[in-house]
Amino acid sequence: MIDNIHYASISAVAELLRKKEISPVELTEFMLNRIEAVDADLSSYATLCADYAMESAIKAEQEIAAGNYHGALHGIPIAVKDLCYTNGIATMGGLKVRRNFIPDFDATVVEKLRATGSVLLGKLNLTEGALSGYHPDFDIPNNPWGAELWAGVSSSGSGVATAAGLCFASLGTDTGGSIRYPSMANGVVGLKPTYGRISRYGVMELAGSLDHVGPMARTVLDAAIMFEAIAGVDNRDDTTLKENVPSIVSQLNGEIAGLKIGVDESYITEGTDPGLVAAIGQAVNTFKELGAQIVEVSMPESDPMELRNLWLPICGYEAAKAHADTFPEQADDYGGYLKGVLELGLSLSDSDYQSVMVKRAEYSKQFENELEKVDGVICPAGGYVFEANKEAQYGDAVAMKEIIKHFQGQFTIPADLAGTPGLILPCGFSEDNRPYALQLLGPRLSELNLCRLGHAYEQVNQWHLQHPKL
């Protein structure tokens, strides 16, 4: 049974653990062996915590044996992006200046996952400081669907490990699309929540007003299980919301009759791969057959470069504040791309920042007005998986143009500017076996309905059950 368990869902494995048909120790040993065998070619892990994972597995096994079962994550091996502080375990953030940093406390999300009895396998690789390029001292994760394919940014290690069966779910962060791009690129489910739904306390900051933490998994149900475990108010993060976290898992029954899905044909199709457009069109038909109402919407002007020009000064200004302890004093230890963005941030005055924040508010209002008309707007997840040059990903802004030109930021940036949620899920494959993904964008606090829609879609297709052959 355990030989083929690495691609199983959390919900399925949880039932086996609850019934004591497998043990957390057996499962964790299997996953650690798989990581050792497979990840040498994928480089998804920055730090493997084998001893710590086994200690956690032994504890979980003892608790379950004693009848003290905590729930769906008890004994489940998971991993987190290496931005999340872990007490006594290196947290590098893809940064040379943080290479030797070992926190003395856990991030709130890590603390909450520990409380579920889950087993932390390790920390996952990412881009430098969670921006778009990598520092030359760090590995670039390889997409398990093809080593020549882009693995997404910045939560690339999270996407790769989840897709490759090297953890049952992971945590990512999203500032301009960094949960959604790697979910799309690696063919997994990603949930970027409403801003403030999940605490950022103890998560290394890129841009405080844009950063979101969220789960990445292989099914919508698994993402919902993770979301419920880590969401909620945190007195240590005053941006967290006081609204109650909905019980999503209990309401995923496949029923979506009457829910409204917004479609803007020009928004979906302009500049998008024709095969992906066709796959999303088929998904719209599926939702309609399941009882959802298809509603025409008109998304605000969405030129990718204009959106990037709105987003980048905010990110740069806030990132410069976040890196003030090490930049520009240790500028030589930074990679070219992040260095350039931090220099941009330092060049901006407070009034420059306030001016662009006004424009942000104006755009976000237009965006939210359309979202409020429906339960979810369907669109691409951020583009199409392309072939990516490793040298370019290690380069400065000039070199990175080769990568960034493929980003379809019109599908990712708006939800970060507005702080609204988005759900990514697989919706097919190209003729050469590259994953296709759709995105459902919802109004604030709509994670429940997004997951209801996504789960219902999963129940009538097999896309989420197809895995890379490693």
CA atoms within a 13 Å half-sphere pointing along the CA-CB vector of 150: 31
For residue 408, name the pLDDT band (cuts at 50, 70, 90): very high
Residue 400: CB partners within 8 Å, gap ≥ 6?
A: 132, 133, 337, 392, 393
pLDDT surpassing 90 at residue 239: yes
> CB of 211 within 8 A of CB of 175?
yes
To the question of pTM greater than 0.95 for the whole model, the response is yes
Q: What are the residue numbers of the active site?
A: 81, 154, 178
**Per-residue pLDDT tens for 10-36?**
999 999 999 999 999 999 999 999 999
Report the distance separating Cα 350 and Cα 461, nearest Å: 50
Name every residue whose Cβ is closer than 8 Å to that of residue 178 and which is 6 or more positions away in sequence: 127, 130, 152, 153, 154, 155, 172
Given this model, what pLDDT does residue 3 score?
81
Examine residue 328 and say whether the peptide bond preceding it is cis (omega within 30 degrees of 0). Answer: yes
Task: Please tell me the distance from the alpha carbon of residue 359 to that of residue 433, in angstroms, as a whole number.
Answer: 40
CA distance 156 to 59: 30
Measured between its terminal Cα atoms, the distance across the chain in Å is 19
Predicted local distance difference test score (pLDDT) of residue 297: 98
Percentage, residues of the chain above pLDDT 70: 100
Residue 255 has pLDDT above 80, yes or no: yes
> Which pLDDT does position 302 carry in this prediction?
77
**Chain segment 166-201, per-residue pLDDT in tens:** 999 999 999 999 999 999 999 999 999 999 999 999
Report the alpha-carbon distance of residue 318 to residue 252 in Å, rounded: 38
Domains, the chain, ranges and CATH?
A: 2-465 (3.90.1300.10)
Closest listed residue to residue 32, CA positions, set 125, 113, 110, 122:
122
* Residues 283 and 438: beta-carbon distance below 8 Å: yes
Mean predicted confidence (pLDDT) in 401-428: 97
Q: In what side-by-side order are the strands of the sheet with 189-192? A: 45-48, 119-124, 77-81, 170-174, 212-217, 189-192, 422-429, 435-441, 376-380, 260-263, 293-296
For residue 1, name the pLDDT band (cuts at 50, 70, 90). low
419: nearest Cα among 462, 343, 357: 357
- At residue 183, the pLDDT reads 98
> What does the mean pLDDT of the chain come to?
97
115-138 pLDDT per residue, tens:
999 999 999 999 999 999 999 999
Q: Are 299 and 370 in contact (CB under 8 A)?
A: yes
| Nearest partner of 201 among 245, 251, 242, 235, judged by Cα | 235
Whole-angstrom Cα distance, residue 176 to residue 415?
A: 8
User: Quick check: 2 pLDDT over 90?
Assistant: no
Q: Which two tokens stand for residue 431?
A: 């003729």
Q: Provide mean pLDDT across the span 39-56.
A: 98
Which are the contacts of 8, defined by CB distance < 8 A and separation ≥ 6?
Answer: 168
Span 58-75, mean pLDDT? 98
**How far apart, in whole angstroms, are the C-alpha atoms of residue 179 and residue 212?**
9
Whether 321 shows a pLDDT value over 90: the answer reads yes
Comparing CA positions, the residue from 29, 233, 42, 8 lying closest to residue 119 is: 29
**For residue 277, which amino acid is it?**
V
